[in-house]
Amino acid sequence: MANILIIDDDDQLRAMLREMLQRVGYKVTEARNGNEGIERYRENPADLVITDIIMPEKEGVETIIELKREFPDVNIIAISGGGRVPAEEYLHMVEKLGAKRTLVKPFIREKLLEAVKDLIG
């Protein structure tokens, strides 16, 4: 069973993602921000990381940079609803930093599951 780490400061979104992924057979670990997410990944490397971009403490961009530096082969899906700039601009930037897939919030369930399946089966 593949393990997925969800990093997002939105409790409701994390819960929704956890339920969705567990229903199709994935094991899920959660973190509320980038610092917590990196700590969780170091303790138990996941097969895939799904991270938000705009978060308190450590944003997704910093989280992706740090994870890719320490773990170059980490699979990352970045998600964003935007902030000071449109979500697409953030997501375009993180693709260059190593995110393998990106999704704009709100996204369609099937699109997320398709991206997960493409990256880890």
Q: In this predicted structure, what is the pLDDT of residue 88?
A: 84
Neighbours of 75 (CB within 10 A): 21
Does the predicted model carry a pTM greater than 0.75?
yes
Instruction: Give the tens place of pLDDT for each residue, 48-62.
Output: 999 999 998 899 999
> Which stretches of the chain are assigned E, i.e. beta strand?
3-7, 27-31, 48-52, 76-80, 101-104
**Residue ranges of domains in the chain, CATH in brackets:** 3-120 (3.40.50.2300)
What's the order of all strands across the beta sheet hosting 27-31?
A: 27-31, 3-7, 48-52, 76-80, 101-104
> Of all residues in the chain, what percent carry a pLDDT higher than 90?
86
Q: In this predicted structure, what is the pLDDT of residue 3?
A: 98
